[in-house]
Amino acid sequence: MSVPTIPVPEPTAQPEPITEPAEAKPRPLADLLPTGDLRVVVAVAMIGLVIASFIAFGFSGKALLGAVFCPALALLAAIDAKHKLLPNAIILPTTLAVAAIVAASAPGSFLTHLAAGAALGGFFFLFGIIFAGSLGMGDAKLGFLLGLALGWQTLGAALIAFAGLLVAALYVLATRGVAARKDAIPFGPFLALGGIVAFFLS
């Protein structure tokens, strides 16, 4: 006589609780600063730009502007080239300092500089929204800083930056092939170059 068996359902695996990814914390500025030989190169370039600004424009408000603006651009270019980041810890204090210098040394043109900053920064912001992944908020903030410092010379700085980016993109395509067309090229170094050149040519 067979004993009836009662089927026992196999235990089902309990679904693991869904955990939302933690928000990425901004990296400390100390982790982004150049190290080794690059630190020496950047430091020499920054000091050289300060000296060059006072040689070119004497002891004036514009020379002081260059002594703040240009070294900051050199440092931002080095950081963006390596980390693809433009830290607020550098951009925001530099923007405030530039605004104060422009307002004190050339109050009559402050609104022009402010409008130029809003125009370039706003353009980069909209460009980054329309073409996702092309430009970031750091580029927009840097664009505002350039316009605020340069005023009417902002267009020249932007043209130099875009020309440099185009040359770099063509070089990457020529050396690495079509497969590299999606590689991100940081825009900060080219904006920095355009800003420094436009400042000294103004």
- What are the tens digits of pLDDT across the range 68-98? 999 999 999 999 999 999 999 999 999 999 9
For the chain, how many structural domains are there in total? 1
Let me know if residue 24 belongs to a domain. no
Look up residue 133 and give its DSSP letter: T
CA 26, 81, 32 angle in degrees (round to 5)?
Answer: 35
Contact at 8 Å (CB) between 95 and 146?
no
Rounded Cα gap, residues 150 and 117, in angstroms: 8
Q: At 30, which amino acid appears?
A: A
169: containing domain: 32-201
Question: Is 54 among the domain residues?
Answer: yes
| pLDDT at position 125 over 90 | yes
Pair 75, 81: CB distance under 8 Å: no
Residue 25 domain-assigned?
no
C-alpha distance across the termini of the chain, in Å: 106
In a domain, 26, yes or no: no
pLDDT of res. 19: 45
Residue bearing the bigger pLDDT, 132 or 200:
200
Give 22's pLDDT tier (boundaries 50, 70, 90): very low
